[in-house]
């Protein structure tokens, strides 16, 4: 064998070894990007159907304070107050506080007019001189609360009349500090953006329910969340930019559970175009990354006793997974350039359910990666912008669902 032939053999052998190594790496990255997430979902789905390990008190009927933060909500605040006025709960045990962050429209005028025509309803109106963010507005309202349970509900989110009677008994358990529930989209069939968001929400709700059955869920929704007043010092004490998720971190540190309750559902709309959807999800993911980092920091410092398994699982799903996905993209490009036939692996995308799952996961990984970069560069979303989907909230739809 000539020297040239030996060199060619060595080169071919080296290339084959590199390709095999890259293929092994590619499959490993696939597992950490999609496999771990899929395994977590299957595990949480199995746990979600198990019974609650709680001592809920069906006779628990505390006085509640419902906080509604507003900023330029004149188009929907009237519907919101009508919705809250329809809640099936004793008026003597219900306080409503609307805290307005210096709106530039007629929000306060609409609220004042509602108060004038509904003297039987205990509504207090607070006004900030300048807009400081949602958490700041809620902390102002917290100083005026009379209730033993503090409920936060956004102006564009609507509650079923029986929500308090179906859910407050969960707070009767001494280990539970807060509850939240699923977001139901009123316009889920309007576009591909809303259809895929509904599928995503259904998956996340199963995950949250499974986490709650184990101990606590890590993330809440602002449409409906309820907290025991005795445990709530301030909203978002760690300054994560998230009034809901950032608040329950403190409960975990105090060894109280924050649980997802399917009966605590609330209704709202969602952007129908991708640009608005992605912008909304980047803002939310930025908050989630900050909140998750706080959980991990407290876990490392041994400041959290419970929900360790859920925190580790969340770290893999929201940090390790996206990072592995980025490495997977780089590896895939290398393999396609080196071995064009590798493209045949994408025939798996012909399977509709697989394609739908991968598309939603990839989209969310991209959003989380962008959010990780935004957190790294100090970007924080403490102010909330009014999305264009407010215009999708129609009176006839709200009446159809029995919300007003």
- Going by the DSSP 8-state scheme, the letter that residue 158 receives in this structure is B
The string of pLDDT tens digits covering residues 194-228 is 988 898 899 999 999 999 999 999 999 889 999 99
Rounded Cα distance between 257 and 349, Å, is 40
HEC secondary structure over 376-402: HCCCCCCCCCCCHHHHHCCHHHHHHCC
CATH superfamily of 64-308+393-400: Spore Coat Polysaccharide Biosynthesis Protein SpsA; Chain A (3.90.550.10)
- Inter-residue contact 253 to 177 (CB < 8 Å): no
Rounded Cα distance between 305 and 326, Å, is 32
- Going by the DSSP 8-state scheme, the letter that residue 83 receives in this structure is H
| Residue 178: φ, ψ to 5° | -160, 155
Q: Is the pTM of this model over 0.85?
A: yes
Closest C-alpha among 205, 158, 202 to residue 181: 205
**Tokens representing 214?**
């184990």
Helix, coil or strand: residue 16:
helix
pLDDT over 80 at 352, yes or no? no
Rounded Cα distance between 157 and 142, Å, is 20
Read off the pLDDT band of 192 (50, 70, 90).
Answer: confident
- Inter-residue contact 150 to 95 (CB < 8 Å): no
Task: Give the per-residue pLDDT at 275.
Answer: 85
State the Rg of the chain over Cα: 24
Question: Which sequence spans correspond to the domains of the chain?
Answer: 64-308+393-400
- Inter-residue contact 138 to 152 (CB < 8 Å): yes
H helical segments located in 192-306 = 192-214, 245-253, 274-300
Task: Give the per-residue pLDDT at 389.
Answer: 54
The string of pLDDT tens digits covering residues 275-322 is 888 888 888 888 888 999 999 999 999 998 878 889 999 998 888 899
- Inter-residue contact 54 to 25 (CB < 8 Å): no
In sequence order, what are the residues at sequence separation of 6 or more whose Cβ sits closer than 8 angstroms to the Cβ of residue 149? 62, 63, 64, 65, 168, 171, 226, 227, 228, 229
The string of pLDDT tens digits covering residues 85-118 is 999 999 999 999 999 999 999 999 999 999 999 9
| Cα 345 versus chain centre, distance | 33
Read off the pLDDT band of 177 (50, 70, 90).
Answer: very high
- Inter-residue contact 178 to 249 (CB < 8 Å): no
């Amino acid at each position: 064998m000539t020297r040239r032939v030996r060199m060619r053999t060595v080169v071919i052998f080296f290339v084959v070894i590199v390709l095999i190594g890259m293929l092994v790496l590619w499959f490993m990255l696939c597992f950490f990007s999609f496999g771990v997430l899929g395994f977590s979902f299957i595990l949480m789905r199995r746990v979600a159907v198990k019974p609650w390990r709680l001592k809920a008190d069906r006779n628990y009927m505390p006085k509640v304070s419902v906080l509604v933060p507003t900023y330029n909500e004149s188009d929907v605040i009237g519907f919101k107050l009508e919705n809250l006025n329809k809640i099936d709960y004793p008026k003597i045990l219900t306080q409503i506080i609307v805290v307005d962050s210096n709106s530039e429209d007629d929000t306060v005028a609409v609220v004042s007019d509602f108060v004038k025509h509904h003297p039987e309803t205990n509504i207090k109106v607070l006004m900030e001189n300048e807009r400081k963010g949602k958490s700041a507005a809620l902390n102002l309202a917290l100083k005026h609360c009379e209730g033993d349970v503090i409920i936060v509900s956004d102006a564009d989110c609507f509650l079923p009349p029986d929500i308090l009677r179906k859910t407050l008994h969960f707070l009767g358990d001494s280990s539970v500090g807060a509850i939240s529930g699923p977001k139901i989209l009123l316009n889920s069939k309007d576009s591909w953006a809303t259809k895929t968001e509904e599928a995503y929400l259904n998956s996340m709700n199963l995950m949250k329910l499974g986490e709650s059955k184990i101990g606590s869920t890590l993330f809440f929704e602002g449409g409906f969340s309820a907290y025991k007043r005795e445990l709530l010092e301030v909203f978002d004490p760690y300054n994560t930019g998230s009034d809901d998720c950032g608040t329950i971190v403190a409960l975990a540190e105090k060894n109280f559970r924050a649980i997802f309750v399917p009966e605590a559902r609330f209704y709202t709309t969602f952007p129908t175009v991708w640009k608005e959807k992605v912008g909304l999800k980047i803002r939310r993911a930025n908050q989630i990354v900050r909140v998750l980092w706080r959980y991990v920091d407290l876990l490392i410092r041994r400041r959290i006793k419970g929900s360790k398994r859920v925190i580790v699982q969340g770290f893999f799903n929201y940090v390790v997974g996206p990072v592995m996905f980025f490495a997977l993209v780089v590896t895939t490009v290398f393999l396609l350039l080196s071995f064009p036939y590798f493209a045949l692996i994408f025939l798996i995308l012909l399977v509709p359910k697989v394609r739908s799952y991968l598309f939603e996961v990839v989209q969310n990984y991209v959003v989380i990666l962008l959010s990780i970069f935004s957190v790294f560069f100090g970007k924080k979303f403490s102010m909330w912008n009014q999305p264009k989907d407010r215009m999708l909230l129609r009176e006839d739809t709200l009446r159809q669902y029995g919300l007003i």
